[in-house]
Amino acid sequence: MSAKSSRKTISQKTLTKVKKQQRTKIICVSHKEDADGISSAALIKQAFGGDSVLVDYPGMVDALELLRNDKN
């Protein structure tokens, strides 16, 4: 008597995790009272799109805090 060996084929399912892409905003915060700040903001806006926020130096920290707390 010969014994037949039976092979079972087991297919493995691989799970792939789909990573949800995080939405980002492009925002340039720049100094509003001198030409290099304004021109830098314009260049960034042209190159990458997004928004420009022009602030003075005392208002810089407040503007950054508003952006940090923005949930949109």
Question: Tens digit of pLDDT for each residue in 16-68?
Answer: 777 777 778 889 999 999 999 999 999 999 999 999 999 999 999 999 999 88
**pTM as predicted:** 0.58
Residue with tokens 């039976």: 6
6 pLDDT exceeds 70? Answer: no
Task: Provide the Cα torsion 41, 46, 52, 54; round to 10°.
Answer: 30
Q: Which residues contact 44 (CB under 8 A, 6 or more apart)?
A: 26, 28, 30, 50, 52
pLDDT computed for residue 72 by the predictor: 53
pLDDT computed for residue 24 by the predictor: 80
pLDDT computed for residue 60 by the predictor: 93
pLDDT computed for residue 3 by the predictor: 60
